[in-house]
Structure 1
Amino acid sequence: ILLLFVLSTAYVSKYQLKQSKFHINKRLGSTKENELSTNNIAIAKDFLTNRFGLNKKELLDNKYIDSQSNYQQYDKSTYLTTYLKQQLSFYRAIPDYDLRFYDIQLDDLDESTVWYKLRPTGTFSGNLSYQGDVYLPNNKVVEFPLILGSVTIKDNKIIRSTSNYLADRLVGNTGGFIEAKGLLFSSDLKPSPFSYLPPLAVFKNLINIFRKPVSRVAVTSPLPEPVLFSLTKQLIASLFTSIDSSELLTDDFQATSPYIGPIDKKQFINEFKKLDIAKALPDFNYNPRNLHIDSYERDRVFAIIQSTGTFTNQLTNPLNNQVISEPNNKKLIGAPEAISFSFNKEGLCYKASYGYVLDRQAGNVNGLGGVDGILEGLGLGTNWLDSRPISEAFTLLSIAIKKLQTPTLPTSNPVSKIENKVVSKPVIKIDSKVVDKPVIPPVVKVD
């Protein structure tokens, strides 16, 4: 690792450094981009500044679809009415709510899609109306978890967005909960783990109940960007292969996924060594893209991965030589997932996050990520007791029933259609008063 550091700093040419710098500028909206790219980033920023388009509905195409992390999809009409009504109570409870959007970047494979991150914060200083009850404020400063979302743009209109997808549930002080549930968590109104975790995950986490998450914040990068990117690619390449990644991890290494963790070094390695995916799918590829250093944690590299491969060989568990399944030639198309690795100055990874799905509707994995997503995509299925919370299982059942009862909209993305018209001037009844065309205070970007 030391040799890699020396070579990277001593022999990377000026041209390569210049290209690397331009790559980062491109993600942040540099004037060196082509006109289309610059315009798409500007539209994405406008969308965020205006509360996800709720204050500026002309940004949204008439066929706009919003894909939520809870498997719900909203068309434009539903988004501007039902979703807006849900948000109003939350915004009144936290009037200084700041999205803190940052790291806005074009998708490496599709410049019509723009990715962004959020680290929302604010003070719980107003009454919160939620599910028929009113909760009093506690005046606490609330920091919500890290969110990674996207917008897709066509002809200067947003045709699709992904919302409320977590990229790290351990960021902040709300236990991984967003919006109203996050405020309730800050008031010590913590739900039962069985309400938001897969049943078996609740028991698995008991093993690590006394392990405290790593809390380091680096204001400067410990190593040059090319070195950090190279180390990240090595770690990604080692997953589900016989490559030994243990020497790249610190002894006190920790990792977290949406439901499990923090787990230790041995648990993390075994998680990815229990299936010989590389042998079962000779063309398996994580297809990593959009590598970048997080602007808040300068020692942390984020990437988007999206697994693909063809199940042509026997799938086994190398840890016990058990045969999991014979090949079925099924093609795996994963959903995009957020993955991250944090490094110290020696080039060793001390923290990782993985398995955070960024679009429930993408691929053939039924919204699952990590090991469960791969098994689902290969047609082998998963144990829902280990892969989904009970509430999520009921949500999927409800959506399936609605699809049978509701005609499909003329769009490539299935949605939960409630109304057929776009309401240009919504009237919503709140607290026995009629609010005509509610306006949500705009958010100001904090660098």
Structure 2
Amino acid sequence: MKNFLNTIRQRVLLYDGSKGVMLQRRGLQGHEASESWNLSHPEEVKNLYAAYLQAGSDMIQTNTFPGNRLTLNHHGLGDKTYALNYAGVKLAQETAPENTYIAASLGPTGAILEPSGALSFDEAYGIFQEPLKAIAEAGADCVHFETFINLAELRAAILAAKETTNLPIIASLSFDANCRTTFGNSAEACAIVCQALGASIVGANCSGGPDSLIEPIKRMYSVASVPLCVKANAGTPELAQGEVIYHQTPEQFSLYTQEFVGNGVRLIGGCCGTTPDFIRELKKSLAQTATPELELKSVPTIASAFNHLVLSPEQDYSVKKPAPDALEQLINGNFSGLMRECRSGAIDYLFLDFGTTAPSFDVKSFAGQLGLLIKKPLMIKADSPEMLSEFLRYYPGKAGVVLTDRTGLSLSQIRHYGALPVDETLKPLT
């Protein structure tokens, strides 16, 4: 397995472009899963990989999006999940030269996680494990979780990758005009949470054209401790006579290269509607673009799934610390009062002190409900390591954890879930 992380800190790597549009031009039908061609039309898939390599791609993304059993079941292919993902990687290996990196593409399940939907965090985790085992055993250089619109689901995917494989992780999401995902996750919160969990690269993809991703990338870079990636669409798609049309030209698409590179992007390619011609133009543009030194951030942060807070010892914060009876109401599912207070804007973060509270309540559901309903960042203190560990696993943000002699968790255990350990004065621990 080649380590692309060393290379990416030295120069910008050129990704490839879309698979679906190109395979449709080769005969893929609308009702077919593009991944199915990894087994039914392997030469066509290899030819597509080769076309991007000839255009100049340094990294090839496998034809495995979304590639999970839940999605493939819609095509009657759920039982082929492992085989389709494994083949997608192997076909890339057979096509690519030694100096090319292979990123296995994995997208979201298409289902909505609890508490908004019916899919549990653990079910999502298990769904991601299956293709992850396939791509790891096939020898992919990294996994790229892309086009996610729910940070909670992306957390399940990243944890599954961390706990199932040793693959480097790229994590990217799609954003609207307000720099938020469909589920309201801010670009900054997404970057903070994903990099804290261990993603080696974070970024944005799909959405609209490259102009639509400039601001999300800038916001991610303002809090990034890792390099960024970007894969925009070939403009905003339009439906004409039953066909999806992308109007942006390769030349127009490449005009934003310098601005992306100046804002931390070290992996750049194309998403929906892009072709090898777009990659050729990106290659030309990169050749004319100076690559400034990455200005990565090491400042301590906490974040909910929606908002973030940069912690500074020189600043006083407005903190909401519920009294024991109010905390009991939260545990019992009554969040209405706290939601009103948090919406007022006068609170910087929430502090929950569980003390010696035993994990006799449904910690998993509590963490999910709190993470969905309370938009403010969180600090938590608890003497029960079992309760704290379970809470951190299911809380969809980056919590601050007050570490005491009674906490019972090590720094590495806290950081495994992307949390920030702090001492009893709330000073971040190194």
Q: TM-score, normalised by structure 2?
A: 0.23
Higher helix share: 2
Higher strand share: 1
TM-score relative to the length of structure 1:
0.22
